[in-house]
Amino acid sequence: MAKTSISISGTGVAIIATAAALMLPLSGAGGPRAAIGMPGCKTSCGDVSVPYPFGMGSAMCFWPGFNLTCDDTSDPPRLLLGYDSVLRVAEISLRNSTVRVIHTGSTIDISPLTRNTAVQDWNFTYGNCFTGGGGAPYTLSSINELILTGCNVQATLLQNDDDSNIISGCASFCSATRTAYVGGVASGHDKYCSGMGCCQAPISIDSSPKELRFRWFNGNHSQDLVPLPVYVFVAEEGWFDQRWVNDELVQKLRPPARAALEVPLILRWEVARDVNSYPNCSAGEVAGRICKSSRSYCNQENRGYSCKCWNGYDGNPYLTDGCQDVNECERPEEYGCFGECRNLLGTFECWCPRGTHGNHTIPNGCVKPVTGSILLGVGLGLVGILIMVLPAILVVRKTKKFMEAKDLKKKFFKQNRGQLLQQLVSQRTDVAERMIITLVELEKATNNFDKTHELGGGGHGIVYKGILSDLHVVAIKKSKIVIQQEIDEFINEVVILSQINHKNIVKLLGCCLEVKVPLLVYEFISNGTLHDHLHASGQIALSWDKRLRIGTDTAKALAYLHSATSIPVIHRDIKSTNILLDATLTAKIHRLCKKEVEKSEKLQQ
């Protein structure tokens, strides 16, 4: 079988990703606008803001690998990726760790390259056109799709130059009469292409593609070149479904217009990891050297780090004092407050206005009480009696109850070795502040552990769903019994698990030691377990590409536990009921219990 290869590195393939990754505000609402770049450095080009770690000009203005170039010769000025890239930067997102670029003239027209009908297979070097020459910080996002148009053709996108790692692939067919059918979005489907005349296939993983393979199904494909032009490119899921785009590329037998060739591309970026000096986020130097804001934290990514502001703060975590308090009270409805609002550092308080009562978290939830003159008179009389007779009794009882509860909390805190936990995390005060959660906070979050907040339970305890004061949704594990001699191991487990920070592992947010049996607080995962989805039927059943992505996420989490943590952790209990799925079907493994951490410590010794 004849085969040939063509290099198209640099301007080869159109790649596009979500337009939802917009530039986020870099200061707290209502407060002074915080700096977004290093002192003395230019922080905009045209209408595009350039936050650190990105920068232009001097090397002091950007983190290594994040250099941009402002082309002032064009009108308006263009911000380019790297020094000599053909990719124009449109938006930079610190919160999503993405950069949106525009690539012009990047769609491959296969037709003129394959007039030689004796050649059936073609290999195209994918190149590094989307990295702008820098390469290291950027990867192609997995939210894109491979698009192919033409008759009786197949395209495959590869991570390597062999078949060992296929990123995506699809095939397009035409009828025997060579009459192509490209009929638009079919009833019951959300894709423009159905495989007749063009096809669309998802990208399986965040990746750095190296090769694109193209193949004709017919040995003599001269007739297959007649009905439709043959194009192949990568684009954001849903972008090709826009009528004006596919009309230009597919329905009309002529070269596409410039507008059809200009496509956006979303790249994921990470601060490269120094394996020798900073192997993972638990290394203390990472927070000081990369995540410079005192109100930020380090997030472990696939190949490096990203920095995020604490809940209730927004801005640039890569700069000193870059994360600023968000004044939720300037836009209270967005945060679920429809009453009186008071802003606090990192959070806010909300209550119904004086003279009203009800639910301040819903529109028109605070109402005035219905009263008449008789009810008013009786009420005033009762109030008078209470004022004269009961205040002393109420004050004494309330004070006594408060002191008893306070003493009991202190007793349990000491009994559960709270001082040991404070000592173990004393080197990182930000961890101590977040890890130790009060009982009052959890009671408010669960309406005093009301049954309506129960997520499930068993012989060992109950799990509740709660909403903390910062509106963070959490899962609270309330065990039934605890052995006192295991308390020290429990505290060590909390310290170890607090250092595990990976997007595919359910994060331990903190614990409460003010009760007889300590409470554990985890991030809330909304979409159930993998077991639930595997045994579902109908439209909610998992497709194969989603199963592959879930398997990849689980493997990443286990690889992190085995080799990236300061003390290797062997899970030993991976099963579908211990793999949770969030709203986007991202897998997160759960149930790191004391036995597994303890075994890992022994292996380390």
- Tell me if 270 sits within 8 A of 303, measured CB to CB: yes
Catalytic residue status for 488: no
- Tell me if 482 sits within 8 A of 519, measured CB to CB: no
CA distance 100 to 18: 8
Nearby residues of 458 by Cβ (< 8 Å), 6 or more positions away: none
Nearest alpha carbon to residue 28 among 428, 285, 347: 347
How many residues belong to the chain? 605
Q: Which of 121, 247, 274, 573 is catalytic?
A: 573
Nearest alpha carbon to residue 45 among 9, 86, 82, 77: 77
CA distance 461 to 451: 13
The DSSP result for 79-137, as a single string, is EEETTT-SEEEEEEETTTTEEEEEESS--EE-GGGG--TT--EEEEE-TTGGGTTT-TT
The DSSP result for 291-307, as a single string, is --STTEEEEE-SSEEEE
CA distance 543 to 566: 36
User: Can you give the C-alpha Rg of the chain in angstroms?
Assistant: 29
The backbone torsions φ and ψ at residue 238, rounded to the nearest 5 degrees and listed phi first, read: 100, -20
DSSP state of 467: E
Nearest alpha carbon to residue 437 among 492, 513, 498, 517: 513
The backbone torsions φ and ψ at residue 559, rounded to the nearest 5 degrees and listed phi first, read: -60, -40
The DSSP result for 425-436, as a single string, is TTT-HHHHHHHB
The residues that are catalytic are 573
